[in-house]
Structure 1
Amino acid sequence: CHPGCLLLQLLLVASFSQAEELLCRQRGDADNPQLSKDGDFMLGGIFSFHSSWINRQDSYTQKPLPLECTSLNFRGFQYSQAMLFAIEEINNSTELLPGISLGYKIYDVCGSIARGVRVTLALTNGNEILSSLSAPCTRPAQVQAIMGETSSSPCMAIATVIGPFHIPMISHFATCACLSDKTKYPSFLRTIPSDYYQSRALAQLVKHFGWTWVGAIRTNDDYGNNGIAIFTETAQHLGICLEYSVSFFRTDPPEKIQKIIYMIKASTSKVIVAFLSHMDMDVLIHELSNHNLTGYQWVGSESWIFDSQIAAMDINHILDGAIGLSIPKAHVSGMREFMLDVKPLNSSSNEMFPEFWETLFNCKFKQSKSSPGNQRECTGHEDLTGVQNSFTDMSLMPIFNNVYKGVYAVAHALHNILRCNKTCNNKVQLDPFTILQHIKNIQFKTKEGDEVYFDENGDPAAKYEIINWQPTEHGIVDFVTVGLYDASLPADKQLNLQNKSLIWAQNSQQVPLSVCSEKCPPGTRKVLQKGKPVCCYDCIRCAEGEISNITDSITCVRCHPEFWSNERRDACVKKEAEFLSYEEIMGSLLTAASLFGTCITAVVAFIFFRYRKTPIVRANNSELSFLLLFSLTLCFLCSLTFIGRPSEWSCMLRHTAFGITFVLCISCVLGKTIVVLMAFRATLPGSNVMKWFGPAQQKLSVVGFTLIQVIICILWLTISPPFPFKNFDESKHKIILECALGSAIGFWAVLGYIGLLAMLCFILAFLARKLPDNFNEAKFITFSMLIFCAVWITFIPAYVSSPGKFSVAVEIFAILASSFGLLFCIFIPKCYIILLKPEKNTKKNMMGKEAPKSF
């Protein structure tokens, strides 16, 4: 062909194609509604009159045959009857849409998502063939709103298709939380709460009964998958673990369902959360019955928990005691009678009527395709009285009520748009967007008093009843309401279980136990088992000094330093305060020894005072002797300040009194030693040394030596005095009450000064021990100082190494031992002479000379 000719042909083809595009043509076969009626305004209905369909393997060499539906589903008929009842009631009303009639087009989608999308397009576009080139291809939708579908997945597909056109779609039973997303599904609304609330409520219900180890089975569609996803998320926050979570669909191969049965048998959890549609539950209950799988506590979603048809199938009582959430019970006056009035269906000309009538009355028409067999022949005038099947079962009245409320929501929106009073303004231009906005903002009450409104997500208020399956004597399951759940209340008040007796699995009265690990009692803490969920753990006893006073504690809390854990490790008990008290044996003995020493000293003082004019008392300055006896009395008594509960005053008094009294005592002994030395020096020719160390000088030396110790003690008490101290480190089980030194330098200065005077006194007494006189006191002073130094040298390591109150006992023992040493070594020999050897207590005997002796 010539190139110009070819171009002309192409232009002609293009022009012809453009002309064809202006002509609206319907491709494929027309989809006619199963139930329809004309009206001023049309409502669409999408329900599943069948629950399944025949799968075909298309060869794609010829036009595919239409979808062939199977398994008649009476539930779909009930939903459509509820819709028709609402439409009839509105059409007969003089208050709502007066003078306006509502029509309907209801389609059967057989549970097929693809067919659901197809009939939705038929509802929006219509089936008319437009042959005129002038007819517009775009025109208003055939229906003002669509009621349905029942399941979530078909609703998602349908809502996605009609969403851009803003055609309202109101579902009565699609609960998937995903449908609340208005960016994806802008025109979708529903009269049943979202699974977002149901899933959370189920998790709280499981937690309420203490089940932390559960299994989950779900329908493998948007309803089941999204529902269990929200349940799992909430369960994790509540400390609940899923041992397994499996899914299936009713069309899956039997082998897959068998695997689920084996998984349940192998599991250790005794509670199963079933987020299943009622059709999938039908399949599962059949398999469970074949394996007689009893003894499990079932927790169900609203899709099947109050379905009497499911209960009727449970012939082996596998689901007895099941608990779950249901839509609150409802009653719509006149609806039951309308739904059971099947005579209008007999007069309908739809092709489904024969199948419906035959299944309903279990009979066969003569012209039926299937062979009548042994079944009786249908007359078309059968009476429904006495028929017991799912069509006559009104247990799903709450869902029928949802359909009813959805139709009324559209009617109220139209009423407002048309500004109806006694009449309606038919001239108002209707468009889907306007209708959708009015439905979203609608708020009204039904004739039964139910308030109907939609939130910003197109959802109603979330309220559920908690249902418990309780078998009766006749083998029929009674759905007993045992509680309520209201998502509008505060979190701690949403779940409200009534004071009713519940029946559990296998007709038990006791709440079943389903945990991976037993609860950890107080006194232990949980330690997770490696590689297992957080609900699987071991209980480890708290360490010493730590407690846990709650069940299933994850940590042990350390007690306050003044407390210690009891034997059970579930409470902190106050530690016993340990100090050297008068009540205990050791304290009593030391007190007795102190008082005994005081008494002995007093007796010696009395003897010396009684015989104060005798030579042995008058020799070597009797005033120093009495002062020494007084200081020894103070030494014995100061040991009492170390006994008893330490206080601020006792801590300051015990060390300072001890330091001052012992310095006074050693000063007296030192004075007596110097007197002995000076006395024998004075006997040498030309010596006048005694005038430099007379009685006045002796007293001044005692005062001077003691004053130095007083100054040291004052500085100690001023700068950093001793104070009562609670020692928690010495013993785990006790509080050691002791006196902290404050300034260690002050303590060792006091002790060092005493030691210095004692060493000086010992050295002087040692030098004077061999002076040739019967009266030579230096010998006894030497012995006393030897004992004194030995005691205090031994005291230091013993004091440091002794724990708690024993260190105080060591210090008291050192005070008493050194005091007794001075008393006995210096004064007992003199008392012996005074009382038992008075013949030696003469001046002549005192002045007698003896050869020096060594020792």
Structure 2
Amino acid sequence: MSYPYPPLHEYHQLGDVFVGGIASHSFIVSSPIDFTRNPPPPSSDELFTVTKNYQHILAFAFAVKEINENPWILPNITLGFHIHDSCFNAKWTYRETMQVISTPKKFAPNYKCDIQNNSLAVIGGLDPQISLLVATVLDIYKIPQLIYGSAPLMNDKTPGLPFYKTTPSETLQYMGILQLLLHFKWTWIGLLYVDDENGERFLQSMSELFSQHGICFSFIEKSPKSTVMTDIPEKFQRGLNIHDKVMGRKANVCLYYGESYSVIYLRWLPVLADLDNMTWKGKVSIMTAQMELNAFIYQRIWGTDLIHGTLSFTIHSSDRPGFQQFVKARNPSRIKEDGFIKDFWRHSFDCEFPDEVLVKGKGNICTGEEKLESLPGPFFEMSMTGHSYNIYNAVYALAHALNAMFSSRLKHEKVNRGGLKQDNQEWWQLHHFLRGISFNNSADDEVSFDHNGELVSGFDIINWIFLSNHSFQRVKVGRMDPQVPSDQGFTIDEDAIIWDTWFNQTRPLSVCTQSCHPGYRKKIKEGEPFCCYDCTPCLEGKISDQKDMDDCKKCADNQYPNKKHNLCIPKDISFLSYEEPLGVSFAFFALSFSLITALILGIFLKHHNTPIVKANNRSLTYSLLISLFFCFLCALLFIGPPKKVTCLLRQAAFGIIFSVAVSCVLSKTLTVILAFMATKPGSRVRKWVGNRLAHSIVLSCSLIQAGICAGWLATSPPFPDIDMHSTVQEIILGCNEGSVANFYCVLSYMGFLAVISFTVAFLARKLPDSFNEAKFITFSMLVFCSVWLSFVPTYLSTKGKYMVAVEIFSILASSVGLLGCIFSPKCYIILFRPELNNKKHMIRKNT
């Protein structure tokens, strides 16, 4: 069966075995088919050639040339090929795929008219939809297909298609994009993606991945899948909306996901938006590996600085020695088998060949001597691009798989001068050898497929730079390598990047909100994406020591925040020490007053036979002075670091000794009252007057307090404790009283004795002065009660060492009150007015 019209473009090279190729070289713009007549073939005016894709065909031919010249690969067998053009069109893709697996010049599906010309495998296509269309045909015949572009999205309708992808894993590219954004701290970006299934998959995958790492979208827009500018009014409005979204948002970074020809549309958008303002100024573009920097002929005059400074992920490639010489040797007048070269030449150099000039009557004449190296980068590149490198590796992978398959059959198959007979081969068995293929190509890059049929390789990060003379450069600035540890896989040379001139060569920022400095935390704005937030200071007791913290954190128990709430400072150890002024002062006063007490006791002992000493029970006076002496020394137990012994003793000792002192005062007061009552005739009180009653009162009152303290120490004794929370800046070392109720019980009992002593002394205050201490005791107990009544609220309102200081002050003050009010008048008489210290004077005064 013959064709109604021949293929638009095809390139054949004879050989013993053949490899098919489906290229994507031209777009067809034609009117709808009405099925009323046989449709005519498209004319040259209906073709838009993507000139840059011609390099894919050259890479195919160059790889075949190298293999045929290499005696170690497929020895005595030459490799041929059939390359056809898909035209980015489903109808033409099906047609050309059938032609690739059929006899040239004949269209006979399912028939092997000339078996030696049938392709054993097919390399193609460039875009996912084209690859899927090719696969649906090849799957019927179990012919291997090696894809050099993006793999199609597999679903329930496309099960088990035999793809071998010479592109790295798409997941690796996702991680590379994420690492790039995180490296530059770009958390507020825009996304423009192609309107197809692969674009939707990219959006879904990246949305989830970005949200997990604090990146969100300022805008998300779809770009039309068709690139040829038909339906201008609709695309004008859509392009205007997209351009306004990109330029109107404050996100300075825009991520583009598209197909190989998507850059053509990106260059259209500024034109559609504003014919006088073709610019993406102030935006950093990040493009995925699927996209190539290409252009149509009518975009020749458009400035290439539109995408100057773009960062692009590209499939890792190595420029092959000899490839540029092979490309430079191309000439449309000398290579008759190449059916692509004339259209490529015409669109690249904007010229017409002599026979076409006569027909069309217009255009410059193509001489065939034009220099390919003079073409701008968007039209053609002399060095091998990523997609071309994939094709190069795909041809070599097939050659090595064939070599392995032929070697395994040498013992069983007949070999002739032309190679193995194809009619004896089951080419579907080639799948087994492709899955296990692994070799180093001529660039010493390892080529192998993983269990998913994907090439084990990485991505290069390229910086697109356009110079003032409109020349184009690709500068490799980074790498995403899957064959090294994950924490070392991403590398970037920031100093090598040339940014858009808008940024004045400083690192661009792209955030919704400026970073929250340490000491602040993020507070999400209501109704806004999580990348947009306010900065609010950390609460008391918390810090943030990094930028953009979601929440402030507490310091460790032994630390506290500084004033800026960005640093934890070690807390000071706090206790009432002998090394600080307050502790030294208390120790000095305690020792001084205890010495004074001892001196007074010595004076009284020296003058123990004088009337003033004998009056009011001399033994009680000695007991009171001794108890006051120990009261002053008791204060020393509260100074210094808390220890187990001091914690156990200090409150109990304080309570018992003070109870003895107050009991002595009470006993002395009762002795005065009973003495005067006993002087009355017939009084029965005489039998109670004497040392026995006085000592009984002191002993019984003291034993009650001792019992309370013993019960306290037996049930819940005080112990050394560390308090890290009462004060912000200090760790308080102190004694935990064990039972607060017992502590206040001791105080209450002591207060009870003091109140009774004050009451009794107040009632006896008018007795004759010479024998009466009641007036002095009244003042002393008034001081005592005032001190301890003030102690309770003050004690409760202070913390740490100052709480201890309040208790020491109360001990010293109340003891000084007793000592001063009771004994200072007597010492005055003994030392300075001895003439008054006689029995005669006292009797006279009493009379």
Q: TM-score, normalised by structure 1?
A: 0.85
Given the alignment of the two structures, is residue 445 of structure 1 paired with residue 440 of structure 2, yes or no? yes
User: Following TM superposition, by how much is the alpha carbon of 1:61 offset from its aligned partner in structure 2, in angstroms?
Assistant: 2.3
Whole-Å separation in 2 of the counterparts to 1:375 and 1:745: 110
Shift of 1:489: 2.5
Q: Which residue of 2 aligns with 1:458?
A: 453
Q: CA deviation at 1:575?
A: 4.7
2:85 corresponds to: 108
Q: Cα–Cα, structure 1 residues 793 and 71, in superposed 2: closer, same or farther, change >3 Å? A: closer
The yes-or-no answer on 1:658 pairing with 2:633 is: no
Are 2:287 and 1:297 aligned?
no
**469-478 or 156-165: which moved more?**
469-478
Instruction: Compute the displacement of 1:665 (Å).
Output: 1.6
Partner of 1:538: 534
Instruction: Provide the aligned length of Structure 1 versus Structure 2.
Output: 821
Residue 845 (structure 1) aligns with: 841
* Residue identity (%): 34
> Which shows bigger deviation, 685-694 or 447-456?
685-694
Aligned to 1:366: 355
Give distance in 1, aligned partners of 2:574 and 2:375: 85
Matching of residue 215 in structure 1 with residue 190 in structure 2: yes
Deviations 1:503-540 (A, max 9, x none): 21117331101111111111111111122211111111
- Residue identity in the other structure for 1:302: A
- Alignment match of 2:307 (pick from 288, 296, 319): 319
- Cα distance in 2 for residues equivalent to 1:448 and 1:822: 104
SS in 1 for 2:473: strand
CA distance in 2, matches of 1:453, 1:386: 33
Q: Which amino acid aligns with 2:245?
A: M
Distance 1:207 1:73 in 2: 35
Q: Distance in 1 between matches of 2:342 and 2:769?
A: 151
Contact 2:332-2:342 within 8 A present in 1 as well:
no
Answer yes or no: is 1:81 the counterpart of 2:70.
no
CA shift, 1:164, in A, is: 3.7
Select 1:636's aligned residue among 621, 628, 632: 632
Structure 2: distance between partners of 1:720 and 1:441: 79
Equivalent in 193, 199, 203 of residue 168 of structure 2: 193
1:115 deviation in Å? 0.8
How far residue 89 of structure 1 moved from its aligned partner, in angstroms, is 3.6
Tell which structure's C-alpha radius of gyration is larger: 1
Distance 1:405 1:239 in 2: 38
User: One-letter code of the match for 2:816?
Assistant: F
Residue of structure 1 in register with 2:619 after alignment: 623
AA matched with 2:80: G
Relative distance call for 1:698 and 1:287 in structure 2 (3 A) is closer
Superposed counterparts of 1:318-717, under 5 Å: 318-342=306-330, 346=334, 348=336, 355=343, 358=346, 362-366=351-355, 368=357, 370-373=359-362, 375-376=364-365, 378=367, 382=369, 384=371, 388=375, 393-419=381-407, 424-426=419-421, 429-472=424-467, 474-498=469-493, 500-506=495-501, 508-575=504-571, 594-595=590-591, 597-643=593-639, 646-677=642-673, 679-680=675-676, 694-695=690-691, 698=694, 702-703=698-699, 705-717=701-713
- Distance apart, 1:148 and its partner CA: 1.9
Partner of 1:60: 35
1:350-372 deviation per Cα after TM superposition (whole angstroms, max 9, x unaligned): 77665555556635313656434
Whether contact under 8 Å (1:145, 1:167) holds in the other structure is yes
Could you tell me which runs of 5 or more consecutive residues in structure 1 were left unpaired when the two chains were aligned: 1-24
Match of 1:162 among 124, 138, 141: 138
Superimposed CA distance per residue, residues 603-624 of structure 1 (whole angstroms, 9 cap, x where no aligned partner): 4334323433322223344333
Once residues 537 and 135 of structure 1 are traced to their aligned partners in structure 2, the CA distance between those partners, rounded to angstroms, is 67
CA RMSD of aligned residues (A): 4.0
Where 1:98 maps in the other structure, the secondary structure is coil
Is this contact kept in 1: 2:357–2:365, CA < 8 A? no
SS of 1:418's partner is helix
Q: Deviations over 1:476-514 (max 9, x none)?
A: 343222222102333221111247432211173311011
1:99 aligns with 2:61: no
Q: Call closer, same or farther: CA 1:771–1:66 in 2, change over 3 Å.
A: same
How far does the alpha carbon of each residue in 1:744-786 deviate from its partner, in whole angstroms, 9 at most, with x for none?
3432443344344445545655665566684234444444445
Change (3 A) 1:179 1:197: farther
Gap regions ≥5 residues in structure 2: 230-234
Q: CA deviation at 1:170?
A: 1.5
Per the alignment, do residues 756 and 139 of structure 1 end up closer, same or farther by CA in structure 2, a change over 3 Å counting? Answer: same
Decide whether the 8 Å contact of 2:102 with 2:112 is kept in 1: no
The amino acid of 2:476's aligned partner reads: T
Alpha carbons of 1:283 and 1:534: their partners in 2 closer, same or farther (altered >3 Å)?
A: same
Please, what TM-score do these two structures have when normalized by structure 2? 0.85
Give the CA deviation at 1:27.
9.0
Task: Give 1:769-784 correspondences, 5 Å limit.
Answer: 774-784=770-780
CA distance in 2, matches of 1:93, 1:180: 41
Contact 1:197/1:462, CA 8 A, preserved across alignment: no
Structure 1 equivalent of residue 127 of structure 2: 151
Aligned partner (choices 8, 17, 20) of residue 41 of structure 1? 17
- Determine the structure 2 residue equivalent to 1:12: none
| 1:130-165, Cα deviation, whole Å (9 max, x unpaired) | 99xx98999999321112222222112211332243
**Which 10-residue stretch deviates more, 820-829 or 582-591?**
582-591
Give the corresponding residue for 2:262: 280
SS at match of 1:244: strand
- Structure 1 residue 808: deviation in Å? 4.4
Q: 1:331, 1:398 within 8 Å by CA — same for their partners in 2? A: no
Q: Which residue does the alignment assign to 1:833?
A: 829
Q: Partner letter of residue 553 of structure 1?
A: M
Is contact 1:217-1:245 (8 Å) kept? yes
Letter in 2 for 1:527: K
Change (3 A) 1:787 1:393: closer
Give the counterpart letter for 1:638 in structure 2.
C
Give the secondary-structure state (helix, strand or coil) at the position aligned to 2:22: strand
Asked if the contact 1:624–1:668 (Cα under 8 Å) also holds between the matched residues in 2, the reply is yes
Contact 1:413 1:435 survives alignment (8 Å): yes
- SS of 1:58 mapped into structure 2: coil
- Residue 506 of structure 2 aligns to a residue whose secondary structure is coil
Tell me if the contact between 1:215 and 1:245 (Cα under 8 Å) persists in the aligned partners.
Answer: yes
- Tell whether the 8 Å contact from 1:305 to 1:323 is kept in structure 2 after alignment: no
